[in-house]
Amino acid sequence: MAVNRVLIVTPEKFDALLRFVPELNDQIRLLIFDEGHIVDPNHRGVRFELLVQRSLKRFRERGCPFIFISAVLPNAAQFSEWITGTPANLIESKWRPSRLLLGRLNWYGRRVEVVYTHNDQEAFEQRCFIRRFIEVRECRGVAGLGRRRLPFPSSAREALAAAALLFAQDGVTLVFAPQPSQANAAAKDLEDALDCLFHLHANEGAQFSLPIPGRKSPIWARCRRVIEEEMGDKSEFLKYFERGFVVHHSRLPRRVRLAVEDVVREGAVRIIVATTTLAQGVNLPIKTVLVRGLYHSHNEMVSPLTFWNICGRAGRAMKENEGQILFFRDLTAEAKVRNRHERAITLLTTTLQSTIVVSALRLALRMIADRWRSSHASVDIPALCVKLAENDISWAIEADREHLAGWLNILDGHLLALTEEFELSADSPDRLQEILAGSLLFIQLRDTPDRTLTIDAAVRVLHSRVRYVYSQIPDRTTRSRMYKLGMTLSSCRAVDRHRKVLNEVFSSAQDWDSWQDHQRLDLLESLAFFLLEIPDIRPNSPTPPETALILRHWLTGATVVDMVDDSAVRAFSSEPVRLRFLLRTFVVTDCRGD
């Protein structure tokens, strides 16, 4: 019988396998963690960091080797010490399979100029530019352009679209926009620019079109079919696809994103408009990256690590011998807007090596300690630990309590895992200190001491939550059962409270084969709505009244495009994409870029 020798999984799937398939532990002989820099200051970053630490403790004792990979990890020596026990096991290389040029794409109001500034991260000693990369063209009186009087391009958005279409004549081009709404706007700009350039060239007796190398390929046909099924045959997205360019961001159905990746990977289209969803794990043959913006929101800038990971998509091996990253700049904008944008560009292009990937666990614990210090400046950390062991956060200001409770809930779930995997004790923090020895948390607290959060304070805070876990789940059998759920502590307790009812439901399903369809639908619907009451799954906003009807349509095999034919469903929405987002509540999807 064939046996799988290689497992390729997300961190979340790997964690689930360790919990549900304990016999797998004895079969693992090598662990490779890719995209290691995702130790981000967010819930997923803490989960990943603690998963790695648990894996190190579990597999290192049996001599299992570890490989930790990242294309952008400035403080790699600390990670080497964490993963292997010594910085000496670090292997670094700055080699690239192709040359990477960085520069600016400047819009002056009458022309677009390309200025190259860097070869990778080394600045050019001389000015290198294409002064008149694009010049405006008169549109007045051109057939097909209606009453347009303004030249083309006449705005920064039109200039960027025109540049993308020109670069696409020579190779695959990525237009990067940090927000999905910006990506959608950029796609509309491309459509309008295509129309304008088509008529301008036709007026001169020439032709202009966007190359579509794979229009007749099977992968093109499959992508088109997926878009129709998921978004409808009248969607803007399908129209863009048929014009030769695609969009990729977290608000699109997962099937559509994967199909888009396939057509770009095969070189079937020349332009992709995307957000940071392409920052991890997506290997595409892109030659040019045009950076439309650098801010997720007014104050939140794209991180240097995320940005440089996106830059790594330019000039892929065996596809291109040169890649280029061009920051679009509107030099007709107000001075304060131009200066802010230039500062952001400078920050991204000059600070990668000085950017430190900080332990997400350290940041979470520091946040808790800082909240305590802000209201109890003269009271020591042990007093905080007493409060945390009792799950008392009334000392925090009201505006912070929900945020604080969320982080504690995440930590509790992983501390529950430690109690199961390493027999963590509620009586003494010594075992916890032993488990965390050599962790990224301890290494960074040693290398860059923190007055508020010392190693001892970090252990005390975490152990206070271990005591809380034991106080809530004193029975070991119950803790083991909750551990296998792999959820936060609050969600585990919510499931366990309904354990008897759930057992009765699943027991009744033994007669599934003899049931009529409506009985099966009733059971699945009741389970679905039970899931929506679990804190980890519960949507942020109430589900609409039409949810049950939409769910039943889906369970009987109807596509979102079919569903909008039902007038009752249209009371919620006539847009297939909105139905798809509602259904995503019931479907387990991956976390990449969402």
List pLDDT tens digits, range 16-71: 988 888 888 888 999 999 888 778 777 888 999 999 999 999 898 888 999 998 87
**Rounded distance, CA 174 to CA 167, Å?**
10
The structure tokens listed for 438 are 């050599």
Residue 297 has pLDDT above 90, yes or no: no
Residue 589 has pLDDT above 50, yes or no: no
Residue 163 has pLDDT above 90, yes or no: yes
Q: pLDDT-based confidence at 198, cuts 50/70/90?
A: very high
pLDDT of residue 3: 60
* 99-209+276-350 matches 11-89 in CATH topology: yes
pLDDT average, residue stretch 58-85: 89
Q: Please name the amino acid found at residue 372.
A: W
The CA-to-CA distance between both ends of the chain, in Å, stands at 38
pLDDT of residue 282: 64
338, 329 Cβ separation under 8 angstroms:
yes
Q: What are the extents of the domains in the chain?
A: 11-89, 99-209+276-350, 212-269, 360-497, 508-586
Put the strands of the sheet holding 245-248 in their side by side order. Answer: 122-135, 111-119, 99-107, 322-330, 288-291, 173-176, 271-274, 245-248
Flag whether the pTM goes above 0.85.
no
Under the phi-then-psi rule, with left for phi > 0, alpha for psi from -120 to 50, and beta for the rest, what region is 482? alpha
Class of domain 11-89: alpha beta
Please state whether beta strands 288-291 and 271-274 pair in parallel, antiparallel, or not at all (unpaired): unpaired
Percent of the chain residues topping a pLDDT of 90? 50
pLDDT tens for 301-347 read 888 877 877 777 777 656 667 889 999 999 999 999 999 999 998 88
What topology is assigned to 99-209+276-350 in CATH?
Answer: Rossmann fold (3.40.50)
Cα 512 to Cα 498, 508, 519: the distances in Å are: 21, 8, 9
pLDDT of residue 317: 59
Q: How many CB atoms lie within 10 A of CB 156?
A: 19
Written as one string, the DSSP assignment of 380-426 is -HHHHHHHHHTT--TTS-HHHHHHHHHHHHHHHHHHHHHHHHH---S
pLDDT of residue 372: 92
